[in-house]
Amino acid sequence: MSHKTCRTKVPNKTRTIFAALLIAGLVIVGIAPVLAEGEKPGDVESRGMPQLQRPMQPGAPTQPGVPGQSTAQLPTFPQKFDVQGPESDSFGFAVTQPGQILVEVQSQGAPVIVTLQGPAPQPISQQGAGQVRLTYNVTPQDVQKTVLWGVQIRLAQPVPPQLGGRAGGSVMVQSPPVNQAAVQQAVHALTTQQKQPTPQEQQQAVEQAAAQIEQSFQLRKTQFDRQQLDRRAALHAQIQPQLDQLQSRMGGQVRPRGLEGTEGSSGEPGTPPEGEIGTRALRGDLLPSTIQKPMDLQRAPAIVQSPQTATSQQAIGTAGSGPGPQSVMPNPAIASLSVGQGQPGDPLMINGSAFGASGGEVHFILGPNKDIVYQGQTWWYDNQILVNVPDATGLRAYNGFVYLIRNSDNAKTQLVPFHFDPTQEYRSIIYTQDKKIGNPGQDYKIVGGSTNLGHHQISHEDANPFWGFKGNDEFFTNARLSNDWVLDDVYLTPTFFKRGGAYIQEKKTGTNWPYFNVRFWIDGCFGDTASYSKYIYLVSIKGPKGIPDGIVVP
């Protein structure tokens, strides 16, 4: 799989403007953090569609740190915070002379960890619920290192909100008076000297994340295959006592039909080695290609003589020179099935009476006009028949039927209900082209970031030293799956997380809506590099093998 990193850099021009306006009074008017710069010429585009960039959303909230705001400035305290799960809130401030920093947090909800970040050798953290206080005496050496500080608040136990993982409240910061000239110099240095990952580093990170996410997807398929084998083994175990009893009654003379040319332990064609019925004969790997024929339930049943007719014929045969008395066979009848539903390859024991000693046909009605004659190995006895569910690819689930036709006289049994479960397969999808609304590719909502959906990387960055931001990216907002296909799972792997992160907050698993949303957050940029929240994703869907899923994926 080829992957291309979607780079989003803060242009030097924007950094210069940002610093200059801060010099004019630390109030920037008309500028928001640049989070969605277009790709440079020569960059690889998404497969099947041009490079997509998400513009700043009109009407977005205007609180600090949120994309779409019209101003960015030093926070004035107190400030409100709200954190859930693994995310965090952060607030930057400046300290330009020695003195004491006092941080007071009032919180409600789950316990939080409050961290003071700055030039100190180690961040200062305090955990608690209710009120949390931090103090630190800034030294002249600290001021020489940097004047930019930050407060981060996160949950002590990052559990989901539905499990109590949420807290909110206010944070108050008190510090010595600020020398604005010193702040201006620090911001200018930060915005012009921030380090960016090289294209090679980003490409390598995406490739590694893609390999990891593909491994997770393949593991999911392997686990499903293992579950199917275990389920089939359990079905074998259920019918094995009946088969053992059948073989015992026949004195070992029961022979499977439909395997001419197969050498068994006795050397006779069509006879598997003794004891192999629980493995080779029932695994489903002995099934040849399925033969389908039009449904024909109107075939005339064999003529069954009435007792009076039989008596008259017996008398004629006795008195004259014609044939002797003829026996009358009752119509075959199915009493029960070992299971009421099954998938291709599953063993099925048919119990009943008058099936005949010369065999016949086992029919599965697995869809409208889909009357399929079973062509695999058959264990046939007058009151029990063992077959496998036919390997019918390209069919959806169906409330069908099973019936038999006896060879000797073409007599039929009644129709017995049987629910057909098709073989499931897995597919991975990344994005859609929503042709219904005439807006190719706009099947997602990216909050203040950029995306290269052809290589499924979503990128959020923040070069602002005073504010972080957070939001929800939504995917497959319009698409729906069809033909019994459903969302199986969503995999998310980080490519670059620095003072930020992302996780899947919601997904419609088990439904035909592959929608999911990703909660991301980014702290303010308090160091020499920007803050990042970059990730890739992969969506796993499952449905009947050989059936279109209905979603448009280039």
CATH number at residue 462: 2.60.120.680
Backbone angles phi, psi at 239, to 5 degrees: -95, -10
Within-domain flag for 410: no
Within-domain flag for 324: no
Distance CA 457, CA 470 (A): 17
Range of the domain at 49: 12-193+428-544
Distance CA 423, CA 402 (A): 18
Within-domain flag for 63: yes
The 3-state DSSP class for residue 171 equals strand
In this prediction, residue 454 carries a pLDDT of 62
**What count of other Cβ atoms lies within 10 Å of the Cβ of residue 352?**
19
In this prediction, residue 517 carries a pLDDT of 95
Task: Report percent pLDDT > 70 for the chain.
Answer: 69
**Among the ranges 5-14, 280-289, 382-391, 452-461, which has the highest mean pLDDT value?**
382-391
Within-domain flag for 339: no
pTM of the model: 0.71
- For residue range 305-337, list pLDDT tens digits in order: 333 333 333 333 333 444 445 567 899 999 999
The answer to whether residues 379 and 386 touch, using CB atoms and an 8 Å cutoff, is yes
Phi-psi region of 270 (alpha: psi -120 to 50; beta: other; left: phi over 0): left
Within-domain flag for 294: no
Which residue, 405, 336, 332, is CA-closest to 364? 405
In this prediction, residue 443 carries a pLDDT of 83
- For residue range 110-162, list pLDDT tens digits in order: 999 999 998 877 889 999 999 999 999 999 999 988 888 999 999 999 998 88
Predicted confidence (pLDDT) at residue 394 exceeds the cutoff of 80? yes
Q: What is the DSSP letter of 423?
A: P
Distance CA 206, CA 7 (A): 11
In this prediction, residue 198 carries a pLDDT of 81
Distance CA 258, CA 256 (A): 7
In this prediction, residue 122 carries a pLDDT of 85
The answer to whether residues 249 and 379 touch, using CB atoms and an 8 Å cutoff, is no
Give the pLDDT mean for 90-119.
94
Predicted confidence (pLDDT) at residue 195 exceeds the cutoff of 80? no
In this prediction, residue 456 carries a pLDDT of 73
Within-domain flag for 437: yes
Strand 416-420 and strand 341-342: the pairing is parallel
In this prediction, residue 440 carries a pLDDT of 53
* Domain count along the chain: 1
The 3-state DSSP class for residue 223 equals helix
Backbone angles phi, psi at 253, to 5 degrees: -90, -5
Within-domain flag for 94: yes
Q: Which residue has the higher pLDDT, 186 or 369?
A: 369
Within-domain flag for 66: yes
- For residue range 207-244, list pLDDT tens digits in order: 999 999 999 999 999 999 999 999 999 999 988 888 88
| Contacts (Cβ under 8 Å, ≥6 apart) of 180 | 26
- For residue range 534-546, list pLDDT tens digits in order: 999 999 999 999 9
Distance CA 38, CA 203 (A): 17
